[in-house]
Structure formats: structure tokens, C-alpha cells
Amino acid sequence: MASQPTLTTSMQPPPGPNTPLALPTSTTNQNPQTFNAAMKVRMRVFVDEQNCSATAEIDSDDSRSWHWVISDNTRTSSDSDQPIAVIQWDWHHEPCIKLTRVAVVPEYRGLGLGRRLVDTALEWASAHAGEINAAMRDVAGREGIQLKEGLGSWKGLVLVHAQVDVERMYQGQGFQTDESLGRWDEEGIEHVGMFKRITLA
Ligand SMILES: CC(C)(COP(=O)(O)OP(=O)(O)OC[C@H]1O[C@@H](n2cnc3c(N)ncnc32)[C@H](O)[C@@H]1OP(=O)(O)O)[C@@H](O)C(=O)NCCC(=O)NCCS
């Protein structure tokens, strides 16, 4: 890895239900470019490294999520924008946003990129509550989800389903484990629910 990588961050707003998302290997893949970049990291980390199932790697959360990708632009080969780290979030049925699929490729770990992803995504969320609420109402209407009276807008609550191995990382970023959510297995990996409230700009 280069000692001083030139990093850029891209954001993909929710692709929406009209853009069927496919695995990058699919011949019918019409995914947005940034989503495909995110999938490169996810396939490498979650499928190849953590043995999660490839077919379960894209789910209904993806089309309504905002996706961030950090790329290394240092390389001059044709694959010059090498995606190396990802994060995404959507919202829960309660008005909180849920961070998912935080991943940094192995050779770039320990450089602060995990923290940078969480900070970047949450800074954007803090400044765009109106946009988040509009998208939340749109999806709730389409999926027939009843938003509770008085709770129908997002007020800065953030949820993460954390693998227990990285619980400490999120604690360091101000998340607290909610033991009432219990512990559960996703793809053979134990998870806990953690919350943090951010201030809206
Ligand atoms: C978890 C992951 C995203 C962390 O990325 P990273 O870029 O190495 O993390 P950072 O360098 O930004 O570290 C941020 C903080 O978390 C801590 N941390 C990072 N990984 C940790 C781990 N596995 N366990 C405990 N603490 C960890 C760091 O020490 C650092 O703490 P500090 O700010 O107090 O110094 C990365 O290891 C990864 O992709 N793992 C595989 C996928 C995964 O498990 N994703 C989590 C899904 S819930």
C-alpha cells in the first residue's frame, strides 16, 4: 500500500425501487457506478473474507440506503479509482437511521478509515434531515409502514447492528449497546444493537 494514499469519498443516494440492483458479476447489472464500487469492497470483505453468502449480500435495504465509498486514487493503472472502504445507512420503522455494512479492505485497516466513514456519513445526515425525512415518508408510504404520531420525523437517532468484535469501535464513537435488543446471529456472526443521538445541524 502507498504510504500517502490520495483518497476520495463518493456518495450514492438511494438507488430506489426502479433500479433493480444486481451482483456486480451479473450480466444484467445496471447498478449505479458508485454502488458497484461499494459492492467490490463488500464482496471482498463480507463474502470472500467473512464467508457471508453472495446472494444475501444485496437485500431490500440497498435500494433505500445512502452508500458511501472511499477510493484510493493513488494508483495509475486502469483501476485507478480503487474502492477500499464502504458504509451505508437507511432507516428503521422507528425514525432512526441504521448504519450497516461498514467495511475497509484488510490492507487499509487501522488508518482511521472506519472512523472517517462513520463521521462522514453522520455529518452528512446531520445537515440533511429534511432530505432524509422526505425519503423516509416516501418509502413508508410505498411499503405501507405507519409512522407513529409525533414520531414521524428523524431527530438524530442512529442505530448500528454491530458485530460483537467491533462493539468497542462503535463505543469509541459514542454508541451505546442496547441490551434490550438482545444478541443475534447474522450469517454466523454475533451482533448487538447500539444507539447514538447526533445533533441536527
Ligand atoms: C471494522 C472495520 C470497518 C474498522 O475499520 P478501520 O479503518 O480499521 O478502523 P479505524 O482505523 O477507523 O479505527 C477506529 C477505531 O476503532 C478501533 N477498532 C478498529 N477495529 C477494531 C476492532 N476490530 N475491534 C476493536 N476496536 C477496533 C480502532 O482502534 C480505533 O479506535 P481509536 O479511534 O480509539 O483509536 C474493519 O476492520 C473491517 O472492515 N472489518 C471487516 C468488516 C466488519 O467487521 N465490519 C463491521 C460490520 S458491523
Half-sphere exposure (Cβ direction) of 152: Cα atoms closer than 13 Å = 12
For residue 112 and ligand 1, the question of a CB distance below 6 A is answered with: yes
Domain ranges of the chain: 7-197
The pLDDT tens digits of the residues spanning 43-90 come to 999 999 999 999 889 988 898 889 999 999 886 555 567 999 999 887
Single out the residue of 85, 29, 32, 89 nearest to residue 61, CA to CA: 89
Verdict on whether the full-model pTM lies above 0.75: no
CATH topology of domain 7-197: Aminopeptidase (3.40.630)
For residue 104 and ligand 1, the question of a CB distance below 6 A is answered with: yes
Task: Ligand 1 pocket test: pick from 41, 42, 48, 109 the residue with the most ligand atoms within 8 Å of its Cβ.
Answer: 109
For residue 93 and ligand 1, the question of a CB distance below 6 A is answered with: no
